[in-house]
Chain A
């Protein structure tokens, strides 16, 4: 991949990568950093990377960088006692199905959230998601299924309240 192709990747994939990171992390600064890390790595290895595989490379790198963050934050959470209780969600807090869905998404385990985002946002196949997350196709399917079931339950319960 040359500089021009790299620039094309920036133009084509940076927004999607940012959305993927932002929806996963819920933190704009961290998402910006994940995008930066992914593109830095891409540039560092651009001579070896085929332009056709750049998108997959970016998402894989971003996923691994996020996994590192999750591991770190889990360690910190274990050390810091949680004082604040999670606020119960009420229908008033939501301004539509989209908002409900995105709030529900945030409650999913990280791996389920990641595979659903890769599936819905990027339209990746189970195989491609497996390559990014180092899972096999069956595992990907199961995680997507379980994630959707959880989302469905949350949406269903909120619908019932409304």
Chain B
């Protein structure tokens, strides 16, 4: 068994790569069929050509799909879904316990009051119940550009929230507009100064990860947010309320989706401020 020279190896390579014309191919194939060493070399080289394994497919295809400019796109894998579900469950249970404790305290207080005070209190309780009605439609969320965030970040990118209209655009719109938001304070305001019959909300702030960030920052960000601070819970008071968008220092947040959930129904998000 002889070693095949590099010149022949190159010819065999060109043959298999399709770099030779028909005539050259025919001549070389003849040569190969007459020479067992060349034949062996040819077979070995031919064996180095890979075939894709069609059984290996990308499992999260559906999460990459877009639907025009609508929709919120969050790319979770199974572990992240599980983590998110656990987080929601814990938050839900916590909120339930909080409400129960409040109710017990309220009952205990009511038993102590005198008869006329009781009447006042019952009116107040009715009013308190009203505060958990669906959120008014005229509420808008804006970014307060002037507030200095507790996390010091370099403000080199545009905010995702329109300060003109005070409306938070859908995250998809941010991606299209190539604008990004930095961790900053947000406020929910009531621009019409209308009377609001409730004073306490729970605000959930989501950070969709499909925004226009890329590279290593994106990866770090998505891990951090998905695993730890993807959702935030804050208790807010009207008419002036604010949410601190907590983030890792220096990391970018592509867009912020604020969902307002009334305390009475933990499982029901009643208003979604992304439009």
Contact = CB atoms under 8 A, between A and B. Distances in A.
Interface of A: 3, 6-7, 10-11, 14-19, 22, 29, 32-33, 35-37, 39-41, 43-44, 47, 65, 68, 97-98, 101-102, 105, 116-117, 120-121, 144-145, 148-149, 151-152, 155-156, 159
B65 A15 contact: no
A15 B57 contact: yes
A151 B47 CA distance: 9
Given A10-B64, A17-B58, A37 B48 contact: no
B53 A37 contact: no
Contacts of A120: 49-52
Given A14-B64, A19-B52, A117-B50, A41 B214 contact: yes
Contacts of A19: 52-53, 56
B47 A10 contact: no
B50 A39 contact: no
Contact of B214 (A16, A22, A40): A40
A103 to B, nearest CB: 12
B219 interface: yes
Interface residues of B, number: 38
A44 B254 CA distance: 12
Contacts of B176: 47
B66 A43 contact: yes
B218 interface: yes
B66 A98 contact: no
Contact of A43 (B9, B57, B68, B210): B210
Contact of A7 (B48, B60, B66): B66
